[in-house]
Amino acid sequence: MQDLDGKKTALSDDAEIYKLHEERAESHSAKEHWKSLDRKGKWQYFCSYYLWWTLGGIAVLTLIGYMIYSAVKPKPEELAFVIILDCAMDTGVVDDQFEKIVGKCGYDTKKAEINSDKRLTSAKNNLTDIQTLSAYIFAGSADIMIGTESALSHYAQQGILRDLAPILPQDILDGIPEEDRYIYHYVPEKDDDPDAVERDILIGFRMDGCDLVKEAKYTTGDTGFILSLVVSGSDDRLPGIYKIIRALYGLPQVQ
């Protein structure tokens, strides 16, 4: 290799110093070329060489920002978790109705919500659904269970559903008519608690007159949904659940 004066040097043609010199020359040439372009030419040059890199960088930054925001933003308060067994209602309408109920309860719909699982069946031969439902119950995650009379009777016999008479506020008991109450006649079985006695239990309220059921168009024509409360549900959520029941049955909210 020869230097600028034509003298031989010990450097090879691909030495790093020559690469740097070439890069500087190319960079200088690119800058001069950029300055020589008009506005349209600059835009075309940018689109040809930098547009996709820029869009890719924006996409990556947007994704990172969304992930950070999702991790740190306040989560809405869960007023209740509802299990709807053998759901024969339009699930999208059910979610819309739940949002309306949150508003009727006096909560900001962006700060509070009602969550639900509408996938489960009460079929005794569906092992996966039985295991999922059992997990909800034993974890204390489920607050409200909605199902048909036959489905709820099975869980009432197992002691999974609350006796509502001693826990509901008097305004709810007085406001929901007798014909909408579902009374289950409990008869102890040989494996039940030895202290259990035969008795009538108020385990739920019929829902056919509620907007939730009337507005959520039936997909199978089934009726007879009943609302009940799960024994293992959190007592801390009961005040909010009472508000939900009032909203469902058109009762005034109690401050």
Query: What would the DSSP string read from start to end of 104-162?
Result: HTT--TTTEEEEEE------TT-HHHHHHHHHHHHHT---EEEE-HHHHHHHHHTT-B-
CA distance 241 to 81: 10
Q: What is the pLDDT of residue 201?
A: 92
Residue-level pLDDT at 179: 92
22-41 residues labelled b (16+ CB within 10 A) or e (exposed)? eeeeeeeeeeeeeeeeeeee
Per residue, the 3-state secondary structure of 170-230, as one string, reads: HHHHHHCCHHHEEEEEECCCCCCCCCCCCEEEEEEEECCCCHHHHHCCECCCCCCCEEEEE
Token pair belonging to 133 = 């439902």
Identity (one letter) of the amino acid at 14?
A: D
What dihedral angle (degrees, nearest 10) is formed by the CA atoms of 219, 224, 156, 234? Answer: 70
C-alpha–C-alpha distance, residues 55 and 38, integer Å: 23
For position 182, what pLDDT does the model report?
94
Q: What stretches in the chain show pLDDT beneath 70?
A: 1-35, 37, 42, 45-46, 49-51, 66, 69-74, 220-222
Angle between helix 51-72 and 39-49 (nearest 10): 70
Q: Which two tokens stand for residue 206?
A: 């019929």
Closest-CA residue to 141 (of 115, 163, 103)? 115
pLDDT at residue 18, as a whole number: 43
pLDDT digit string (tens) for 88-116? Answer: 888 999 999 999 999 999 999 999 999 99
Residues 6+ apart with CB under 8 A from 206: 179, 180, 181, 182, 224, 225, 226
Give me the CATH code for the 77-248 domain, please. Answer: 3.40.190.10
> How far is it, in rounded angstroms, from Cα 246 to Cα 254?
9
Residue-level pLDDT at 56 = 76
- The residues spanned by each domain of the chain are 16-72, 77-248
Model's pTM, two decimal places?
0.70
Q: Residue 26 has what pLDDT?
A: 55
Rounded Cα gap, residues 154 and 232, in angstroms:
16
Residue identified by tokens 């090879």 is: 12
pLDDT at residue 48, rounded to an integer: 73
Rg (CA), the chain: 34
